[in-house]
Amino acid sequence: MPNLRLKVTHTHAGVAYPPGHVIDVDDHTARWLTERDIGTPANSDPVPVADPVEPIKPRSAKTPKE
């Protein structure tokens, strides 16, 4: 069964689900919800990207004090 991530609040099987919730539905229902812009396939969600990490700076060699 397809998973859909809801774009808007939607009642499915008597239960109201908020936007962002993922529901399991049959193919026909998935198509119906997608065509009406109520949900999008959950497997098409972009993969979250981690925050960029600062590169580690190499420690400088100790220099003699003048």
Q: What is the mean pLDDT of residues 23-51?
A: 81
pLDDT at 34 over 90: yes
The residue with tokens 């600062």 is: 54
* Least trusted range by pLDDT, from 6-10, 12-16, 38-42: 12-16
Q: Specify the pLDDT at position 57.
A: 58
Residue 59, both tokens: 């420690």
pLDDT band at residue 42 under the 50/70/90 scheme: confident
Global confidence as pTM? 0.61
Q: What is the rounded average pLDDT of the residues 6-10?
A: 92
